[in-house]
C-alpha cells in the first residue's frame, strides 16, 4: 500500500507540473495575457512593423519604388504569363509605363528590343506575409501578358518608368525559350542561385532578416535581384554580340528548364553553364553528366562553384494532376533532410538529399567539370583583384591572342574559385566505393590558367582553368572563376586578347 501511495503522489505531482507548464506557455505566448502588458505589446508591434516594412521588404537599389515578379521561370513564344507589381507599403501609389524588352546586341551595344507595353494603371502597395520568402508573395495580378507569339528566344526584362521620369530597370526578369531543340549554343542562366541568395520576404538560404537563422525553402514567386545585373550581364553582352556577328543560333534557358526537360540540350552542339551556377537538382546533374560522359557532347563551364549544392523543386499551389512549375526550391544543407527518413537505410537516400554533391564523397563535382569550388573572398568595388596567369598556351584557341606562358589577365579570378583538388589531399573529393560518378583521370586535365587568390581568412588559394576531353569524346572547358565574365565585357577588365581567346574557344567547341 505504501508503494501505491507513492505512485499516487508522484502522478499528482507530475500532473501539477504539466498543468503549470501549459499555463505558463499560455501566459507567455504572443497572443496570451502577457501581450496585454503595454511594454510587451509595444515591443511586439515594433517587431512586426520591422518585419513588414524594414526587414522583409528588401530593397535591391537605393531608390527603388517598384517591385515585381512573373509566375513562370520561362515561356515559349505564344504562351501567356502573369506580371505582379507593387510599391512598398506606406509609399504613394505610382502610375508608370510598364515595358517588356529583349536584351539584344544592336548598333555596337547591348540594347533593349521592346516587345510589349502595358496600359498605364496605378501600381499600388500589396501585402506581405510571414510566408512570403518560402511560399511566395501571393500578389494580385497587374497584367496578363498574352501576345508573345512573335517574341524571339532570349532574356527579357520588365522595366517601369514613373510619371516623373524615375526609371526602374529589371523589375522582373524571365526567359523566352526556343521552340527548337537543335542549334549551335544552349546557354543556361543560374536562376536557382539568384533565388538562393534572395532574402526578400524575410529569409534566403543563407540568412534571415528577422532571426539568426536561414530558410530551408525559398520561393520564385517574389521580387528577386536578378544575377543578370551582377556579372552575368557581361556574358550575355558578349554572347549576344558574338551571335550577331558570327550568325550563331543561341538559345537561353534557366535551371528549371533543364530540370524539367533534361533532353532539351541533346540537339545543341555546345552547352554553356555560366556565372555563379551553384544550385542544381539531381536531375540537372544527371543530364549534364550524361551529355559529357555518355553522349560525348561539348560543354563549357564559364564560372565557378558549379553544381555545389543539391536542391529539389516543389510547387505548393499546383492543382492535383497539374504540371509542376517548380515555384519553390528546398535546400536543407547541413540540417538533416527529412527525405533521408523515407529510406530504410542511408545509402539508399544519399542520392536524393539536399546536401553538397560532394557530401560523403557521393558525387563530387570534380568528376563532372574537372575542377570544383575551393574558397572565396569578400568582393567589393575596391578589390581585392587577382589575376589569371597563362600556364599552357599550346592549344588552337590561343591563336591570335599573342599570349605566352606567364602572361597575365587582370582581375578575373574570384570572388569564388575552383581547382582540380580543392582539399589538397590528392583525392580530388572522390572515393572508391562511395562516389557514384566514375573517376576522371587527372592526366586528362590540361591546366591552361592558374591564379593565387587570397581567401576570406587570409590564406592563399589556387584557381585553375582546365581543358579536357571525356572518354566519350566530349570537349570540356572549365574556367575555374566566377569573374571569368568580367574579361568578356566589364569596363576596365575586358580586353581584346581575352575576347579573342573565348571566340576561338567557342569556334573550336562548335566544330
pLDDT of residue 46: 63
Structural domain total, the chain: 2
Peptide linkage before 237 cis (omega within 30 of 0): no
pLDDT (average), residues 466-476: 98
| Residue 395, in any domain of the structure | yes
Last residue of a domain, one of 55, 73, 98: 55
pLDDT band of 55, cuts 50, 70, 90: confident
Is 363 in the same domain as 223? Answer: yes
| Residue 111, in any domain of the structure | no
**Grid cell in block for residue 180:** 527548337
pTM, entire model: 0.89
Last residue of a domain, one of 55, 73, 94: 55
Is 45 in the same domain as 192? Answer: no
Q: What's the pLDDT tens digit per position in 259-286?
A: 999 999 999 999 999 999 999 999 999 9
pLDDT of residue 451: 98
Give the chain's mean pLDDT.
91
* Separation of CA 171 from chain center: 17
Q: What is the DSSP string of 34-77?
A: GGGSHHHHHHHHHHHHIIIIIISS--SSTT---EEEES-SEE-T
| Residue 99, in any domain of the structure | no
pLDDT of residue 39: 72
| Residue 335, in any domain of the structure | yes
| Residue 189, in any domain of the structure | yes
Is 359 in the same domain as 500? Answer: yes
| Residue 409, in any domain of the structure | yes
Q: Which of 284, 311, 312, 310 is nearest to 299 (CA)?
A: 284
Domain containing 37 equals 2-55
| Residue 62, in any domain of the structure | no
pLDDT of residue 29: 44
| Residue 457, in any domain of the structure | yes
CATH of the domain at 361: 3.40.50.880
pLDDT of residue 106: 93
Last residue of a domain, one of 55, 74, 99: 55
- Contact by Cβ (8 Å): 417, 396: no
More confident position, 22 or 119: 119
Amino acid at each position: 500500500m505504501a508503494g501505491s501511495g507513492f505512485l499516487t503522489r508522484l502522478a499528482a505531482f507530475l500532473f501539477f507540473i504539466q498543468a503549470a507548464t501549459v499555463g505558463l506557455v499560455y501566459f507567455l505566448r504572443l497572443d496570451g495575457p502577457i501581450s496585454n502588458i503595454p511594454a510587451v505589446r509595444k515591443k511586439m508591434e515594433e517587431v512586426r512593423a520591422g518585419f513588414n516594412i524594414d526587414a522583409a521588404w528588401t530593397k535591391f537599389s537605393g531608390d527603388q519604388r517598384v517591385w515585381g515578379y512573373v509566375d513562370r521561370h520561362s515561356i515559349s513564344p505564344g504562351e501567356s504569363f502573369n506580371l505582379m507589381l507593387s510599391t512598398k507599403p506606406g509609399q504613394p501609389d505610382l502610375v508608370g509605363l510598364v515595358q517588356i524588352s529583349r536584351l539584344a546586341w544592336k548598333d555596337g551595344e547591348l540594347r533593349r528590343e521592346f516587345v510589349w507595353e502595358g496600359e498605364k494603371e496605378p501600381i499600388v502597395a500589396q501585402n506581405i506575409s510571414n510566408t512570403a520568402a518560402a511560399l511566395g508573395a501571393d500578389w494580385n495580378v497587374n497584367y496578363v501578358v498574352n501576345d508573345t507569339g512573335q517574341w524571339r528566344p532570349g532574356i527579357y526584362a520588365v522595366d517601369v518608368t514613373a510619371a516623373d521620369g524615375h526609371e526602374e530597370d529589371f523589375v522582373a526578369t524571365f526567359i523566352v525559350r526556343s521552340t527548337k531543340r537543335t542549334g549551335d549554343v544552349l546557354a543556361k542562366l543560374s536562376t536557382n542561385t539568384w533565388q538562393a541568395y534572395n532574402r526578400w520576404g524575410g529569409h534566403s538560404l543563407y540568412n534571415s532578416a528577422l532571426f539568426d537563422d536561414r530558410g530551408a525553402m525559398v520561393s520564385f514567386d517574389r521580387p528577386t535581384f536578378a544575377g543578370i545585373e551582377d556579372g552575368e550581364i557581361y556574358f550575355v553582352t558578349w554572347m549576344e554580340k558574338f551571335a550577331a556577328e558570327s550568325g550563331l543560333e543561341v538559345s537561353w534557358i534557366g535551371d528549371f528548364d533543364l530540370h524539367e526537360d533534361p533532353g532539351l540540350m541533346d540537339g545543341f552542339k555546345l552547352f554553356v553553364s555560366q556565372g555563379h551556377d551553384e544550385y542544381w537538382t539531381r536531375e540537372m546533374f544527371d543530364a549534364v553528366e550524361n551529355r559529357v560522359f555518355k553522349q560525348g557532347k561539348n560543354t563549357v563551364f564559364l564560372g565557378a562553384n558549379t553544381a555545389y549544392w543539391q536542391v529539389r523543386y516543389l510547387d505548393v499551389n499546383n492543382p492535383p494532376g497539374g504540371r509542376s512549375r517548380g515555384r519553390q526550391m528546398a535546400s536543407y544543407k547541413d540540417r538533416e533532410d527529412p527525405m533521408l527518413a523515407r529510406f530504410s537505410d542511408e545509402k539508399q537516400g544519399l542520392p536524393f538529399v539536399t546536401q553538397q554533391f560532394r557530401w560523403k564523397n557521393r558525387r563530387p563535382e570534380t568528376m563532372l567539370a574537372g575542377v570544383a569550388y575551393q574558397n572565396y573572398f569578400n568582393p567589393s568595388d575596391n578589390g581585392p583583384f587577382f589575376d589569371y596567369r597563362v600556364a599552357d598556351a599550346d592549344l588552337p584557341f590561343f591563336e591570335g591572342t599573342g599570349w605566352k606562358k606567364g602572361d597575365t589577365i587582370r582581375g578575373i579570378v574570384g570572388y569564388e574559385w575552383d581547382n582540380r583538388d580543392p582539399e589538397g589531399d590528392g583525392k580530388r573529393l572522390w572515393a572508391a566505393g562511395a562516389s557514384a560518378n566514375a573517376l576522371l583521370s587527372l592526366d586528362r586535365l590540361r591546366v591552361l590558367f592558374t591564379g593565387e587568390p587570397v581567401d576570406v581568412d587570409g590564406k592563399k588559394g589556387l584557381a585553375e582553368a582546365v581543358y579536357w576531353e571525356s572518354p566519350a569524346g566530349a570537349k570540356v572547358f572549365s574556367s575555374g572563376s566566377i569573374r571569368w565574365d568580367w574579361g568578356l565585357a566589364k569596363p576596365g577588365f575586358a580586353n581584346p586578347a581575352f575576347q579573342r581567346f573565348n571566340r576561338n574557344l567557342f569556334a573550336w567547341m562548335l566544330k
